[in-house]
């Protein structure tokens, strides 16, 4: 699993030249699909990690008197909120050639030409 805390993805949205990004695949839509699938994977990983960390703070007795603000829980939540969004991380990974992808249809077509 990649350490998303150490990513060099930007925090804010950046306008990108999709035509130049799609040079590797030859198709803008295929490039967007690759980045989108990876962003979904990253989002699921981050959500699971956040769930595990916040589960440590859950209590079995949830009465109004016992609920109070937990400083550590707030800090964990803020940290995850400040992280770059999954699409930005996936785009950065794509630009740095850290995403492995393949298109079985293209591979099948390539085999028929041989």
Q: How do residues 26-79 score in pLDDT, each as one tens digit?
A: 889 999 999 999 999 999 999 998 888 888 776 666 555 445 557 778 888 888
Q: Are 28 and 22 in contact (CB under 8 A)?
A: yes
pTM above 0.85, yes or no: no
State the Cα–Cα distance between residues 1 and 17, nearest whole angstrom: 28
Place of tokens 């803020």: 78
Q: Which helix (H) or strand (E) holds 88?
A: helix 86-95
DSSP letters of 13-29? Answer: -----HHHHTTTTS-HH
SS3 38: helix
**Structure confidence at residue 12 as a pLDDT band (50, 70, 90):** confident
């Amino acid at each position: 699993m990649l350490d998303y805390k150490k990513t060099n993805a930007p925090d804010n949205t950046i306008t990108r030249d999709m035509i130049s990004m799609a040079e590797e695949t030859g198709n803008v839509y295929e490039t967007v699909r690759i980045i989108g699938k990876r962003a979904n994977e990253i989002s699921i990983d981050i959500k699971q990690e956040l769930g595990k960390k916040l589960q440590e703070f859950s209590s079995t007795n949830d009465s109004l008197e016992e609920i109070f603000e937990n400083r550590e829980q707030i800090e964990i939540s803020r940290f995850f909120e400040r992280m770059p969004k999954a699409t930005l991380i996936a785009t950065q990974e794509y630009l740095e050639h850290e995403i492995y992808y393949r298109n079985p249809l293209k591979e099948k077509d390539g085999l028929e030409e041989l």
